[in-house]
Structure 1
Amino acid sequence: MQLSVLPFLLLLVLAGRKAASLSKSVVTLYPPWFSVLKNDPVTLRCEGSGIPENSSTLWLHNDTIIPVQIQDYNIIANNVTYSGKYQCQRGQSALSDPVKLEVFPDWLVLQTLKLVYMKGEPMVLRCHSWENKHMSKVTFYQNGKGRMFLQRDSNFSISRVNNDDSGDYSCAAKIGNRQEMSRVVRIIVQDPSLPSSPSKIWYYILFYLVMGILFAVDTGLYFTVKREVNGSKKDTRYLLTRWHKEPEDD
């Protein structure tokens, strides 16, 4: 290797290490629910490792820059236009992954920390009322009439979820003289030992399909070549036989 190439390679290695060490910022919700009702207060915090406290923060809402540069972005979700994806970039860290916030103009909302749980994880559900109005007879439903949980408070939890806990969840409660029902939330419980998404299932299907096609093509080529070789051998034997049987000239 020529010595003039070494500085260039060293620069590439250092640049790769710097890019690898550049961690992403993280958006955290307080309270931690991504589904809220109108007039709910929400704090979005931008965090990152090894970033000074006085670092400026870039905020994005649906890919549009928000004119604030503080770490904690506080909102009162008094309009559904606050719905959408939020991202941040703090200091020299990379842009965060998007966090989706949904604002509903309803009386009740069923809140959960996430929509996809792994088998064995704890799950917490919360039935939340508009402007925290007093609720009574709080009831949690799974798959409509499939399962029903009557609670004294607004929270319901499962210590370790399994496959039977997948389904459509909702909650109902009495607010004053009104009986209200939340929207349905679909929650999925995945088994880590199985493919976790349709894309992975299609990956395996395509893999075995391609392997089957290659095997069929290879087999076809093998028998075609073998047939041609056998045909060539027969032609050679035929010519040799005729050559031996031809009479000699006088």
Structure 2
Amino acid sequence: MQPSLLTFLLLLVLPGRKTANISKSVVTLHPPWFRVLINDLVTLRCEGPGASEDNSILWFHNDTIIPVQIQDYNITADNITYSGKYQCQIGQLALSDPVTLEVFQDWLLLQTLKLVYMKGEPMVLRCHSWENRVISKITFFQNGKWRKYSSRDSNFTINQVNYNDSGNYFCSANIGNRREESKIVKITVQGTNVTPHPSTSSSSKIWYYILFYLVMGILFAVDTGLYFTLKTEINSLEKNIMYLVSKWS
């Protein structure tokens, strides 16, 4: 058997190697809304596995370093230039993935935790007013149709979203004597990750054992063949030696 073929068969049955993961820093928003209004207070927190308060911290806004070295970076978004992507790096951890902050100048803003949800996830929408002014008669709309009305509750919660919950959302409310509307936010609901069918998993296990025993059988056959070949050559060598000894004696 050629060594390359044997190596190939062994690779089929040996477990795959896992690539080492480099731990990353993580940026989180507090409160968790990534869409905010002018003058909203936002805290960006830099965290990571194994990190401590003694670790050095770097902050970046749109790839430009920010001259602060604290774990909780507090900002008052007093203008839209605070919009953009934020990243941090704590200690020896890798640079975090970017977190996007969007700052708007308006009376009302529809806030959401994200724009893409997986089917079955909970979704919370918030009708937020500039400088947290008191709002009333709050209505949430999807694709121009009424979804929820409340005299005071500014949140709209769906416990488990479905495909029908995709669409364009906005809210309207009274601020004093004025009726205001937020801008539209497009929200998408996608399917959940596909779970392998049990029969597929069983089939994979069967092929694993077939390949395993096939390779073991091939190795046994190769080993046995080498044994008998070597034994034959040794016997032949012994006969030649005995012949030479008898000839010279």
Structure 1 length normalisation: TM-score? 0.68
Instruction: Provide the aligned C-alpha RMSD in A.
Output: 1.6
Provide the rounded CA distance (Å) in 2 between the counterparts of 1:177 and 1:52.
Answer: 50
SS in 2 for 1:134: coil
* Separation of aligned partners in 2, 1:90 and 1:193: 32
Give the corresponding residue for 1:120. Answer: 120
Q: Which residue of 1 aligns with 2:23?
A: 23
Distance across 1 between alignment mates of 2:47 and 2:141? 36
Post-superposition CA distance 1:142-180 (Å, at most 9, x none): 0113x4310231001001000000000000000011110
Kindly report which structure 2 residues correspond to 1:236-247, keeping only aligned pairs within 5 A, or say none: none
- Aligned mates of 1:56, 1:176 — CA distance in 2: 47
Partner of residue 86, structure 1: 86
User: Separation in 2 of the partners of 1:52 and 1:73?
Assistant: 16
Q: Distance in 2 between matches of 1:52 and 1:22?
A: 17
Instruction: Please give the alpha-carbon distance, in whole angstroms, between the structure 2 residues aligned to 1:129 and 1:112.
Output: 14
Q: Give the Cα separation in 2 of the matches to 1:126 and 1:98.
A: 23
Q: Distance in 1 between matches of 2:90 and 2:157?
A: 34
Counterparts in 2 of 1:68 and 1:138: CA distance versus 1, 3 Å: same
Identity across matched positions, percent: 70
Partner letter of residue 46 of structure 2? Answer: C
C-alpha displacement of 1:54: 1.2
Describe the superposition over 1:190-231 as per-residue Cα deviations: whole angstroms up to 9, x where unpaired. Answer: 01257xxxxxxxxxxxxxxxxxxxxxxxxxxxxxxxxxxxxx
Which aligned pairs between 1:161-200 and structure 2 lie closer than 5 A? 161-192=161-192
What letter corresponds to residue 143 of structure 1 in structure 2? N
Give the Å deviation of 1:21.
4.5
Distance in 1 between the 2:54 and 2:169 partners? 43
1:54 correspondence with 2:54: yes
Partner of residue 37, structure 1: 37
Q: What is the CA–CA distance in structure 1 between the aligned matches of 2:193 and 2:180, rounded to whole Å?
A: 39
In structure 2, the gaps of 5 or more residues are 1-16, 195-249
Aligned to 2:219: none
Structure 1 segments, 4+ long, off by >6 Å, are none
Post-superposition offset of 1:52: 2.0
1:149 is matched with 148
CA distance in 1, matches of 2:98, 2:43: 15
Letter in 1 for 2:120: G
